[in-house]
Structure 1
Amino acid sequence: PQAMLTRLAHPLQLLTNGARNLPTRHQTMRATLAWSYALLDEAEKTLFRQLAVFAGGGRLEAIEAVCSANGADAQDILDVIASLLDKSLLQQQADVDGEPRFRLLRVVREYALEQLEEHGEAEAVRRRYAAHFLALAEQAEPELMGAAQQVWLDRLALESNNLRAALDVCLAEHDIEMGLRFGGALWRFWEVRGYLDEGRLWLERLLAKTTARTSRRAKVLAGVGRLACNQGDYAAARRFHEESLSISQELGDLRGIAFSLNNLGNVAFNQGDYAAARLFHEESLAHSRQSGDQRGTAASLNNLGILAVELGDYEAARTLHAESLALKRTLGDKQGIAASLNNLGNVALNQGDYEAAFTLHTEGLALKREVGDRQGIATSLNNLGNIALTQGDYRTARPLLEESLVLQKAIGNRRGAALALCNLGDVAYHEGDSDTARALYTESLSIRWEVGDKQGIAECFVGLAGVARMVQLVERAARLLATTEALLEAIGSYLEIGNRVVYENHVAAVKRALGEEPFAAAWAARAERLRIYPNNGCGFDNYTCE
């Protein structure tokens, strides 16, 4: 089987032997293709060979851009395409937007690639191919944050195979400047559509090829840092963003400085360092306003709003998110609008306005589905599940949280997966299933411990304390609650209002069960409880940082 799989990678080599009593041209696939190719005129042969560079087929405008170097005009190319279609050497299909796409079947393309190499055209055609798709990526880049973002995200998705092949050309030809331009244009597409592993791999390969401290390197560093942060690899994300910031500072690039500071604020926030996060976001906001960058301003306001919620200042959070939302509506940024609706929904939930929270999250989810924002969809599903959980509707909460968990794992967002696991732990806890609750909280805690999410660790301890109470391990519950308090004191944070109520109920119950003196002793030693381990083991809202 392995030998067959190896040969299937080159199907033309596999299909070599036919029946010996057939005409020579039918004895092998290669011979059949050679016979068909020989019957073509020179214009048909040239286009047939050059079409082989398209890894995902090509639209007419792409074919014209890549295959017209020999002086053929658009009508000439269209005529040759029609002829190749008639001869069944080329296939036509419609893209989702109705535009025709032309492609060679895999075996036919392999033969055409051989002919392209034999005629010495491969290098020049591949360079035109890479240049065309770079132009497409750079045309799409500013649109990914504007009113037409859905159209351009879908277009890039349709061209994914061609974009990968074009990046391969850059690496093979050692054209790293072109590769960095690709990376800088595409990272947001990879982020929104949830291709975190693939995007990070491309960007790291490109960065490894050069150390030149240019604006293009800074941009790619910022992109790979965003993808790493979404994966929960905060140490790597910080390194990428710090280098990006350093380069932008050397170049005096205010927008680049603001963006890197914003990203470092997100890393600090995700690790529970709220004091650092505030400083980064406030400085980023100042730079964005100074440079007139409305998108950067909106992002910093959004992230300061998230921080305000964690610190319990819901009115400030609402004001910050409302200002950010207004800017995004002006820009027509649907993904950004959906993020602000998500975050305003979490403010409403924390203030006990469940109806407003549900409406805001539902509206945000609809926009995220429209744009195809996989990460955003997973976030909204988690938060709608959390609303149901908070209201005691566990039957509704579970499937929403489970769907969020599946998406987060598929995307590779470990922090998001940990949030969903914790909320599913809450469902199990409230339904009286201590074993399942403990397993879910512990799995969530393990991820949060590994990525350094201190707030998340504290929240998991609250859940595990509840399980300990459920199975009459009151002293263990006391230790977990004391550790939670010490950890929150250390990072200067608070539990969100729903979790704070649960936490305070646990503390009161444990205090009654233990008695005043044993409880006071456990509490007095809480600083020592910061020597915690993952096996010591939450509804939690999922905010959308930008």
Structure 2
Amino acid sequence: MSQEIDFLAVVGKLVSLSLVESATTHPTQPANYRVTTILESLLETVLIQEEWQTTRQQAVRKIHQAWWEENDNRTEAEALEIVRLGLLANEQEIAVSVGNTIASNWVNDSRFVEALELCKQVLAVFQDYRILGTIARAEEVLGFVQEAVTHYQQALDLCPEEELQEKATILNNMAGVFAQQGNIPKAIPLWEQNLEIFEQIGDVKGKAVTLNNMAQVIAQQGDIPKAITLWEQNLEIFEQIGDVKGKAVTLNNMAGVIADQGDIPKAIALWEQSLEISEQIGDVKSKATTLNNVAQVFAQQGDIPKAIALWEQSLEIKEQIGDVKGKAATLNNMAQVFAQQGDILKAITLWEQNLEIFEQIGDVKGKAITLNNIAQVIADQGDIPKAIALWEQVVSTLAQLSAYGDLVTVLSNLGLTDESNGLVYLAQAVWLTLRIQATLEQTIRLIPALYNRVPQGDELEALLGATAIFFCNYRGEGHPQLEELQYPSFKMLSAAAVAQGFETDEAFHTWLVQQRLNDPEYFLFRLNQRLEEIVGDGWLFDCSQVVGESGSANISAQYRVGWS
């Protein structure tokens, strides 16, 4: 007992001298004390480096045990202090595991900037696959896309062979980045590696998530039957394992694609199933997402009051649960409808709320897409110079993000709006479609827009017509509107032949062979040359970065397939 009294007396004296301070945050907790920075500097002159390091390590292990392992009411401040001390004491597992938990939670809560900074602090001391994977998630949203890809690759390289679950997560996230860039051929193999891992470890839920990601991208590319097949596999898995939440999400995704195909009754039926499940299990976030999607369909059908009522329900839920990104998506949909209805002021007001949200959470892509929408409305109102200035700002942001699919859309908007410089903008957009997996609809809308700007009889007309037909053949398998997209493609090539004086079928085929328009390795390469000549020094983004990602400046080498 006397020793304990003496110890407490000493501690009390040290506290009174501000050499030790209490670290106890609650009366019921055991007494904890920490050495202040004043005493730290004094002890460093007394203890040798090994003793000092051992003391630090013992201290952080004790604090980690008390504040983390044995504490059911952890606070953020305590967790951050554990990370700080873990880094000082060179306790890698403590610093990394706790730091990664905090950073991952921050990313999930849209606190991307804070997550980025914390990960940087940890990586300055330890190169760990977990932190590398988490910082990449934050970087992707904040616009540091190339850094994200680099960090994902480093995470894969450092991930232990036995950590298959973590490896699968990294592969999935990398695939998502490539899909955003329009590099679908690179994304799909990563997801296929994911599926192999999940098969190997028996993770059926992970397999279902991956199938869903693949289905969404494949649907965007226009192969609806294949996407539906993947979602149906998903539903089977969720039925088997009793994952009703996963089933609700899959039904929601399927419904969106089916609605886009025009089968509204079937889509509504699927959304109603999804809503019923969300209600049963109390999944308010999924319910809000589904309400938002159903509202979109009613708006497209012209039932604006019903759409607005559903969106307001969705917003109310998202406000309650703090889903800021979901709130922004709903505000954007509402703004677009108000703009279509002619209430421009209300639309702009909602988009400005969106911009505030994206500024707050550091979502660069969300901000760029919102500015694109505002620019389109401003252009429709006749203020072309202001719209062009906004679009040029958006181009710079999307190029920074490597969001090339969205960049094609904005360049197209610029090209169709700007009479004086439209040819240069459209040439850049078509140049990008040669390098990324833009959707077939986007490509076939874009090529005729450039075609119509080209002088009649110019070689470029034939090159564009041949390229449009080629893409219909190359990317059109399974596309429900393939015949509709093929028609303007054949029309362009036929008109180019007639402009050259080749009007009969026999003359047309002779001309086709003479001009090597049946040889994609030639006409794609030649088209690329002509586009770069048109753009000259008028690039709005660093085109060398895109060439580097494609792996070769010789664009025709990417398409070693037959053509007829």
TM > 0.5 between the two? yes
CA contact (8 A) 2:19 2:38 kept: no
CA contact (8 A) 1:245 1:257 kept: yes
Match of 2:37 among 110, 130, 134: 110
The reply to whether residue 491 of structure 1 matches residue 439 of structure 2 is yes
Q: Which residue of 1 aligns with 2:281?
A: 331
Q: What is the CA distance between 1:120 and its match in structure 2?
A: 5.7
CA contact (8 A) 1:196 1:227 kept: no
Q: Which residue of 1 aligns with 2:490?
A: none
Match of 1:360 among 310, 333, 340: 310
Q: Which residue of 2 aligns with 1:369?
A: 319
Amino acid at match of 1:369: E
Amino acid at match of 1:291: I
Q: CA–CA distance in 1 between the matches of 2:80 and 2:104?
A: 12
Match of 2:12 among 14, 23, 40: 40
Q: What is the CA distance between 1:47 and its match in structure 2?
A: 13
The reply to whether residue 439 of structure 1 matches residue 366 of structure 2 is no
Change (3 A) 1:319 1:194: farther
Q: What is the CA distance between 1:488 and its match in structure 2?
A: 13
Q: Which residue of 2 aligns with 1:173?
A: 91
Q: Which residue of 1 aligns with 2:257?
A: 307
Q: Which residue of 2 aligns with 1:422?
A: 372
Q: Describe the superposition over 1:109-150 as per-residue Cα deviations: whole angstroms up to 9, x where unpaired.
A: 53477779869654344235445666699x8xxxxxxxxxxx
Give 5+ residue unaligned stretches, structure 1: 1-35, 52-57, 61-73, 85-103, 140-154, 538-546
CA contact (8 A) 1:454 1:487 kept: no
Q: What is the CA distance between 1:254 and its match in structure 2?
A: 0.7
Q: CA–CA distance in 1 between the matches of 2:218 and 2:16?
A: 59
Q: What is the CA distance between 1:223 and its match in structure 2?
A: 8.1
Where 1:255 maps in the other structure, the secondary structure is helix
Q: What is the CA distance between 1:380 and its match in structure 2?
A: 2.5
Q: Which residue of 2 aligns with 1:193?
A: 110
CA contact (8 A) 1:192 1:375 kept: no
Q: CA–CA distance in 2 between the matches of 1:226 and 1:37?
A: 61
Amino acid at match of 1:174: Q
Q: Which residue of 1 aligns with 2:142?
A: none
Amino acid at match of 1:126: V
Q: Which residue of 2 aligns with 1:221?
A: 170
Q: Which residue of 2 aligns with 1:378?
A: 328
Q: Which residue of 1 aligns with 2:246?
A: 296
- The correspondence of residues 34-113 of structure 1 with structure 2, limited to 5 A, is 40=12, 51=23, 59-60=25-26, 75=28, 77=30, 109-111=36-38
Q: What is the CA distance between 1:391 and its match in structure 2?
A: 1.4
Give 5+ residue unaligned stretches, structure 2: 1-7, 45-50, 123-129, 134-154, 472-527, 541-564
The reply to whether residue 393 of structure 1 matches residue 328 of structure 2 is no
Q: What is the CA distance between 1:175 and its match in structure 2?
A: 2.5
Q: CA–CA distance in 2 between the matches of 1:230 and 1:489?
A: 9
Q: CA–CA distance in 1 between the matches of 2:306 and 2:335?
A: 15
CA contact (8 A) 2:57 2:90 kept: no
CA contact (8 A) 1:311 1:494 kept: no
Q: Which residue of 2 aligns with 1:148?
A: none
Change (3 A) 1:118 1:460: closer
Q: CA–CA distance in 1 between the matches of 2:417 and 2:166?
A: 49
Q: What is the CA distance between 1:429 and its match in structure 2?
A: 0.6
Q: Which residue of 2 aligns with 1:256?
A: 206
Q: CA–CA distance in 2 between the matches of 1:267 and 1:160?
A: 40
Q: Which residue of 1 aligns with 2:464?
A: 525
Amino acid at match of 2:57: E
Q: What is the CA distance between 1:310 and its match in structure 2?
A: 4.7
Q: Which residue of 1 aligns with 2:57?
A: 123
The reply to whether residue 159 of structure 1 matches residue 76 of structure 2 is yes
Higher RCO (C-alpha 8 Å, min separation 6)? 1
Q: What is the CA distance between 1:460 and its match in structure 2?
A: 3.1
After alignment, is 247-256 or 232-241 more displaced? 232-241
Q: CA–CA distance in 2 between the matches of 1:367 and 1:128?
A: 42
Change (3 A) 1:476 1:43: closer
Q: Which residue of 2 aligns with 1:205?
A: 132
CA contact (8 A) 2:332 2:370 kept: yes
Change (3 A) 1:198 1:185: closer
The TM-score, its normalising length taken from structure 2, stands at 0.57
CA contact (8 A) 1:345 1:360 kept: yes
Amino acid at match of 1:191: N
CA contact (8 A) 1:462 1:484 kept: no
Q: What is the CA distance between 1:314 and its match in structure 2?
A: 4.0
The TM-score, its normalising length taken from structure 1, stands at 0.59
Q: Which residue of 2 aligns with 1:24?
A: none
- The correspondence of residues 14-29 of structure 1 with structure 2, limited to 5 A, is none
Percent pairwise identity: 20
Where 2:92 maps in the other structure, the secondary structure is coil
Change (3 A) 1:205 1:264: same
What CA RMSD, in Å, does the superposition of the two structures yield over aligned residues? 5.5
After alignment, is 240-249 or 427-436 more displaced? 240-249
Amino acid at match of 2:93: D
Change (3 A) 1:483 1:396: farther
Amino acid at match of 2:161: A
Change (3 A) 1:411 1:45: same
Q: What is the CA distance between 1:230 and its match in structure 2?
A: 11
After alignment, is 246-255 or 257-266 more displaced? 257-266
